[in-house]
Structure 1
């Protein structure tokens, strides 16, 4: 049997794939996990009672855009690492932009406030639980991404786990905005980012064990 006949024989029973299978797989896992996280926010934590009013102010959108932009960049990096070829990590570097933007906003807010208020702005009223809640809310989304990876072929398992955890943490933080009443940029920069970083570290620790194929 020559090579052409062998290829034709092997390809006889191969079903055609739908377009963008990787993106569809990741999106399914991401949506399933996000739905579970949204239910936890709504049923266990509760949406903030002034949510509609808060959405008319800039502080809500500052933290929402910050977390959502991190989530989009991390998800794009996760999709790249889900393939066995050498990934490009350019999307991870783009995450520096929202971080530096929030740093600038935080410095502007602190410059306008009396120094006596700086500690209160930094700690807010929920600094003890904020990072932990972001981490916990990331777990269903991380589980959805792990389900997605079961039919994918990552090779850099620790890095893939870290970006999946980072994506889950950022999406979890985005949904946490629907509950959290904190408005200070320095609070978001510190405690939201810490929760997202913890989710990424968890993903890096679990990646080599859970993403092996």
Structure 2
């Protein structure tokens, strides 16, 4: 067979692919995984009883602004490293911006609180389970991200796994906020962040094995 005939044969059944196919695939995986995590959270922990009123408070808005902004930034990073020709991210430092802003809020919060109140503010009433629950709720979301990656072609597998893990952890932290009554910036900065870091670290570890194509 001539080269021209082979090329024509291979291209005969091709179909157009949306230029936003990767974005759509990741969005579907994230939404599906997020709904699965919510389906796990509701019977396991339930919503906080004062949720409608709590969602109107500054503390709750601060908590969601932190987790959602991290989820969006990590999703951009995931989309970047999902491509086979992905160069190093020049703007990865932007992931630190939400953390830095919340750290400033924590410093202000502590400065306005007597020293005797620092420890209760830091530990709250649920520090023992907060990080672990965020990490566990990230598993269904990470499963959705793995499904999305099946149609993508990452080559930097550790970075892709870490980015997908951070997306999963941030999404899980957002969902966990529907249950958690803690609204202290110091608490969120410590224990929510730890849960997201655990998810990102786990993603980095399993990325080279599960994302290989």
TM-score interval (norm. to shorter) = over 0.9
Pairing 1:130-209 to 2, within 5 Å after superposition: 130-209=130-209
Match of 1:87 in 2: 87
1:27-65 CA distance string (max 9 Å, x none) = 111111100111122221101111111111100010100
Structure 2 counterpart SS, 1:95 = helix
Long gaps (5+) in structure 2? none
**Which TM-score applies when normalising by structure 2?**
0.95
| Separation in 2, partners of 1:43, 1:103 | 33
1:118-166 CA distance string (max 9 Å, x none) = 0000000000000000000000000110111112100011111011101
Q: For the Cα contact (< 8 Å) 1:134–1:173, is it kept in 2? A: yes
| Separation in 2, partners of 1:12, 1:40 | 45
1:59-81 CA distance string (max 9 Å, x none) = 00101000100100111111111
Match of 2:122 in 1: 122
Are 1:104 and 2:104 matched, yes or no? yes
**Over the residues paired in the alignment, what is the CA RMSD in angstroms?**
1.5
Return the offset for 1:210. 0.4
| The 10-residue stretch of structure 1 (101-110 or 5-14) with the greater mean CA deviation from structure 2 | 5-14
| Separation in 1, partners of 2:87, 2:79 | 9
Match of 1:10 in 2: 10
Number of aligned residue pairs: give it: 213
**Which TM-score applies when normalising by structure 1?**
0.95
